[in-house]
Structure 1
Amino acid sequence: MRHDRDVLNAADELSAGPVRLRRWRAADADALYRAVRESIEHLAPWMPWAAQGYSTSDAETYIAGTDERWGTDHDYAIIAQVDTVVGGCSMMARIGPGGFEIGYWVHPGHTRRGYATGAAAALAEEAFRIGADRVEIVHDAANVASGAIPRRLGFTEVDRRPPQEELTAGEVGLDVVWRLRAPASPVV
């Protein structure tokens, strides 16, 4: 994976099947806060950042941080219908050189519509476009819904390990790691 900042700069918007992904904007803070607040019971068992509640200030701080991290990590709003924030997703450069970990969440009122699957597929494609050789999705073994997405997209389960982050109430303490390798370049 190249380390030239321009090469690592992902697109600001991505097509994701039934939704589009858009880089977070400061103006999204209220929509993010509302989506998380309405999803807190759905998110808290799996997301350490949601386990203690979520405030407007948390949303503003998160969105400001996405600008600071852009070029290393790439965070997007998942947008459906007419500019409605229905979740969030990220490509995080925390699995070592050449790779991105993909994460996602969707408001419970918008699950089972292909939004997280579309978002993960678009992020994987974008990661490979900007030079990644692999992407991974990591979830707790108890989070069966999250595990269905990498399986559906052709990822391979490569590991089960103790969690590397704070354990939340819904987790059993066993992370499942899924990996997808970049498609081979055609021989010219």
Structure 2
Amino acid sequence: MYTASDELSRGPVVLRRWRRVDAGDLYRAVSESIEHLAPWMAWAAHGYSTADAVAYIARTEEVWGTDYDYAIVAPGPALVGSCSMMSRIGPGGFEIGYWLHPAHLGLGYATAAAAALTSEAFRIGADRVEIVHDLANVASGAIPRRLGFREVDRRAPQEERTAGEAGVDVVWRLCASRSGDGMTVPGMNSHL
């Protein structure tokens, strides 16, 4: 596998590797989004501090090369959320995750970020990409469906359950398919 790019762009968003100077902006975005995130994200369920933002960015620097974490930046430029490619599903695969500030929902930003991460995962050699969300998080489930992922499993959650969750993780998968000399990713050419 190759190393992921420090910056990706897709449609209306740019994904860029987190930098230490982003800690204040990250803290602000999460703080303004805490009521929106807490029902779905265990890390947000008990609040979020400046120290949490600094620690998160430090962790992203440590794991870069196996996991890839990006700030989602929209026109303005405004920090509107975060997304990641995580190697936790085993060799040859990445699980991707994302969250957005609630003021930026419904604009295609999460779909564009997930599409960029999926393309990048396949570019650096992954054979599959998964998105996992709780059954009750219908909005998160719309993204993999829109991008051509297939639902492959429903299981008990692997992480701490939060207040909004039904307690059933839905697993979506997209596998790399090769045709000719280039890689094609089904559903990735559709309008975001």
Which category of TM-score, normalised to the shorter sequence, fits these structures? over 0.9
**2:32 is aligned with 1:38:** yes
Q: 9, 12, 26: which one pairs with 2:6?
A: 12
RMSD: 1.1
Q: In structure 1, what is the equivalent of residue 139 of structure 2?
A: 145
Which residue is equivalent to 2:185? none
Question: Within 5 Å, which residues of 2 pair with 1:19-168?
Answer: 19-168=13-162
Between the aligned partners of 1:21 and 1:177, the Cα distance in structure 2 is: 24
The aligned length equals 182
**Superposed displacement of residue 184, structure 1:** 1.5
Q: Which residue of 2 aligns with 1:184?
A: 178
3-state SS of the aligned residue for 2:178?
Answer: coil
Q: What does the per-residue CA deviation read over 1:64-116, in whole Å, with 9 as the maximum and x for residues that have no partner?
A: 11010000000000001223110000000000100000000000000000000
Residues 37 and 177 (structure 1 numbering): CA distance in 2 closer, same or farther, change over 3 Å? same
Q: Secondary structure at the match of 1:39?
A: helix
SS of 1:64 mapped into structure 2: helix
1:187 to partner: Cα distance: 6.5
Residue type of the alignment partner of 1:151? R
Change (3 A) 1:187 1:77: closer
Q: Give, in whole Å, the separation in 2 of the partners of 1:120 and 1:153.
A: 8
Q: Which runs of 5+ in 1 are unaligned?
A: none
Q: What is the TM-score with the length of structure 2 in the denominator?
A: 0.93
Identity percentage over the alignment? Answer: 74
2:166 pairs with 1:172: yes
Q: Structure 1 residue 14: deviation in Å?
A: 0.3
Q: Distance in 1 between matches of 2:165 and 2:89?
A: 21
Q: Distance in 2 between matches of 1:187 and 1:126?
A: 17
